[in-house]
Structure 1
Amino acid sequence: MNEISASPLSDGRAPIVTRERVAVALMFLMNGFLVGAWAPKIPEFASRLSLSESALGLMILTFGLGSITLMPVAGMQIARFGSTWVTRVAAVMALPTLLLLSLVNSVWTAAIAIFLFGGLIGAMDVAMNANAVATEKHMRRSIMSSCHAFWSLGGLIGAATGGLLIAWVGVLGHAAFATVFAAAAVVIGWPLLLTDKPHPEEAKQKVRLPMTPLPWLLGLMALFSMVPEGAVLDWGALYLRNELGASVQLSGFAYAAFSLTMAVMRFAGDIVRDRLGAVRTLRICTATAILGLFIAGFAPNATVVIIGFAIAGIGISNMVPIAFSAAGNLPGMAQGIGLSVVTTMGYSGILVAPSAIGFIAERVGLAVVFASLPLLLIVVLLLSGLARHADGNGAGGH
């Protein structure tokens, strides 16, 4: 196991910044960056393959299917080899996927490439979350929210630079730049990652789904926390444009306001959680998210909706990181088992929710959808006591 970069504090906790924390944050940044870099490539990808909107929708669904397929596989390998090696292997395997997506020229090769891209991004996601849990335990302080903040920051950098690079050096040149940037993060983080112990005796449990209800309830919490995120991402701008008559420019602020407050609060989340404990932090976050979504759903104009989304972003920011921390700290269960269940259920919310919301919105309108989303968060509030497992790293009040 790597040594922490400075001597422990008087209360037994590690300093706020250690080698291991920097390393796992770099892995989150790299993963988010690859996802963000993919977003501006989608229009060219669709035109190169002559994809209709529905065919492109199926391709994006294939990305999700790849994630859902390989996430449980990553959980098995974490039990067998430890999160460190699975994070490293998945990261290295994910590096060439953007180049692959830039080179494919048939629907079938594109489907295979996007399945691998989604699968390896998802597998790395499970592994790096497991490594973040191990690092939390080692440091005896919360770091999960800031790790997710670095993922958001990576996504922002990838998306913001993608369009400019594509215009400047072309699709393949952009993919090469993005691959080199991502590879640099992996090279720097590789030797600094905390080395956790594998649990080969628990790998056999992976073949069977866990029988205890705890990981499934935490998965439900993650799912219901991520459905509103997917709703704002995919339907926020359309809600402003179609139902409140906002301009294209103003509509763009729907997700921007949400993602900005979410990223900022994720950087602050660990400090709050260490002070208040995971349960109280989750309850405050969930109540804030409920308020924001109610404001957005009942808003008389676009400006009020944007304010509502910004408040919802503050709340939702730290709900998923707490659920993931709890999943990795379940008593008598290897990190990979709990995390593979919770991450797969959670991310399926972002993958499945958009189409379901579209079906409902056609009948009742998006205002009703956003006003109804707090019902899911009330379930999270009722289950919030399970967040006590997130304090298993020795951090936070109870």
Structure 2
Amino acid sequence: MSLALRRGRWAVAAIFLVNGFLVGSWALQIPVMLDRLAIGEFTLGLLILGFGAGALVAMPTAGYFISRHGSRAVVRALALACAFGLLIVAAAPGLWSAAVALVLFGALIGGTDVSMNANAVAVERRLGRAIMSSSHGFWSLGGFAGGGFGGLAIVAWGHLGHAVIVTAAAFIVTAVAIRFLAGETEPEASSGVRFSLPRQPLVYLVGIIALFSMVPEGAVLDWAALYLREERGAGLAMAGWAFAGFSGAMALMRFAGDAVRDRFGAVTTLRVSGLVAAAGMLTAALSPSPLLAIVAFAFSGLGIANMVPIAFSAAGNQDGISSGAGLSLVTTMGYSGLLVAPSVIGFIGERTGFAPVFATLSVLLVVVVLMAGLARSAEFRATDAAVQPAT
């Protein structure tokens, strides 16, 4: 492996880290917006929905530009712009300016997400081995760092001071990292690429795998703490461990996931991961005690950790379609489960309770197990491209 390609592998990891750091930092700005904009929770919810809408619109658009210009060029442009997204939101003086800023920030986050995943696919191809799971592990690590630092920073320097520090750190790391990004070995498409949906049905099925993997993730992130408090009698401090256990286990497994996937193959890893995730989710739904439910959510996180990275690798390695087009479609489908589905889940959970919801989500994970063979394009073997120098 050339020095340039090794640097490219760590450069894209740094972009994942910064993207997660920005999202984690944004999460701490959310409650501040209630007071500084003098709005209610319903209005705040609409603003957050705008963030998600911006991301979902930008994802297929980024795929189009990746097909024309390659992932490296698109990552460079979007990641640098994305570093300033949080600052724009924090500096917005009123409701409407905040709404526009959030749509823009969401678009930059979503577009960077697609392009950095496409670049990770390009590096995987050239290395001949998996790096997607550990790349997502860096994203989780960045989110943890952003969330942990954000609260202290806002208390010490206010929401705007926090945003300035986050922006400076994100910009510096990104500016260094983009110098070392590796690119595709050859153009994936000519300049005549059209902005259209892929015609291959298999990539949509891979999108369903991503969707069914990310809906449970979104449900745990948004509703597990409430489930433990309202239905299992946990205190506020204990209820918070549902998310912490789940996300911590997911981050740890993502760093181990590439070695597991290279050893056993993508399809086998996806099947076993789906079974582990389904067992944990069902146990959490049936658990009579909050402590057992917390352990079960963490167990489910171990399984879910590698499911989305494998789906993204499969999407970026479809025959007859550029990695940008495949990834933009599958990423959009998957993130709709993370950004949109929790709202529907909350509506249902208020009427049925969340135990039946989590039990039903375990069924979605079993469906992923049954569909795992469709992710065979995520399997890797060493090729001549793996030893080519970075371009």
TMscore range, shorter length: over 0.9
3-state SS of the aligned residue for 2:320? Answer: coil
Q: Which moved more, 1:178-187 or 1:306-315?
A: 178-187
- For 1:9, the equivalent position in structure 2 comes to none
Find the aligned partners of 1:171 and 1:294 in 2 and give their Cα distance. Answer: 39
Find the aligned partners of 2:283 and 2:98 in 1 and give their Cα distance. Answer: 41
**1:201 to 2:199 alignment:** no
Aligned-residue Cα RMSD (Å) equals: 1.4
Find the aligned partners of 2:192 and 2:89 in 1 and give their Cα distance. Answer: 33
3-state SS of the aligned residue for 1:331? Answer: coil
Find the aligned partners of 1:203 and 1:141 in 2 and give their Cα distance. Answer: 31
- For 2:259, the equivalent position in structure 1 comes to 271
- Give the letter for the 1:204 counterpart: V
Aligned-residue offset at 1:291:
0.4
Find the aligned partners of 1:202 and 1:72 in 2 and give their Cα distance. Answer: 17
- For 2:388, the equivalent position in structure 1 comes to none
Q: How does 1:316-331 map to 2 (within 5 A)?
A: 316-331=304-319
- For 2:282, the equivalent position in structure 1 comes to 294
Q: 1:203 to 1:265 in 2, by over 3 A?
A: farther
- Give the letter for the 1:280 counterpart: T
- Give the letter for the 1:21 counterpart: R
Find the aligned partners of 2:371 and 2:174 in 1 and give their Cα distance. Answer: 37
**1:251 to 2:239 alignment:** yes
Find the aligned partners of 1:100 and 1:310 in 2 and give their Cα distance. Answer: 35
Find the aligned partners of 2:162 and 2:265 in 1 and give their Cα distance. Answer: 43
- For 1:4, the equivalent position in structure 2 comes to 2
Does the 8 Å CA contact 1:138/1:393 hold for their aligned counterparts?
no
Return the match for 1:308 from 296, 307, 331: 296
Can you give the 5+ residue segments of structure 1 that lack an aligned partner in the other structure?
Answer: 7-13
Find the aligned partners of 1:363 and 1:187 in 2 and give their Cα distance. Answer: 49
**1:367 to 2:362 alignment:** no
Find the aligned partners of 2:278 and 2:208 in 1 and give their Cα distance. Answer: 17
Find the aligned partners of 2:110 and 2:337 in 1 and give their Cα distance. Answer: 14
TM-score, length basis structure 1: 0.94
Aligned-residue offset at 1:393:
5.6
Q: How does 1:215-230 map to 2 (within 5 A)?
A: 215-230=203-218
Q: Which moved more, 1:59-68 or 1:358-367?
A: 358-367
Q: Which moved more, 1:232-241 or 1:193-202?
A: 193-202
- Give the letter for the 2:3 counterpart: S
- For 1:382, the equivalent position in structure 2 comes to 370
Q: How does 1:60-209 map to 2 (within 5 A)?
A: 60-196=48-184, 197-201=186-190, 204-205=193-194, 207-209=195-197
Does the 8 Å CA contact 2:80/2:175 hold for their aligned counterparts?
no
Return the match for 1:339 from 308, 311, 327: 327
- For 2:389, the equivalent position in structure 1 comes to none
Q: Spell out, residue by residue over 1:324-344, the C-alpha distance to the aligned partner (whole angstroms, 9 max, x if none).
A: 000000011100110000000
- For 2:386, the equivalent position in structure 1 comes to none
Q: Spell out, residue by residue over 1:258-306, the C-alpha distance to the aligned partner (whole angstroms, 9 max, x if none).
A: 0010000000000000000000000010000010001100001100100
- Give the letter for the 1:379 counterpart: V
Structure with more relative contact order (C-alpha pairs < 8 Å, separation 6 or more): 2
Return the match for 1:50 from 17, 38, 45: 38
Aligned-residue offset at 1:199:
3.1
Find the aligned partners of 2:150 and 2:291 in 1 and give their Cα distance. Answer: 29
Q: Which moved more, 1:183-192 or 1:77-86?
A: 183-192
- Give the letter for the 1:201 counterpart: S
Aligned-residue offset at 1:203:
5.7
TM-score, length basis structure 2: 0.95
Q: Spell out, residue by residue over 1:135-167, the C-alpha distance to the aligned partner (whole angstroms, 9 max, x if none).
A: 001111100000000000000000100010111
Q: 1:99 to 1:179 in 2, by over 3 A?
A: same
- Give the letter for the 1:116 counterpart: L
**Percent identity between the aligned chains?**
53
- Give the letter for the 2:187 counterpart: P
Does the 8 Å CA contact 2:123/2:183 hold for their aligned counterparts?
no
Task: Tell me the matched-pair count.
Answer: 382
- Give the letter for the 1:266 counterpart: R
Can you give the 5+ residue segments of structure 2 that lack an aligned partner in the other structure?
Answer: 384-391
- Give the letter for the 2:368 counterpart: V
- For 1:11, the equivalent position in structure 2 comes to none
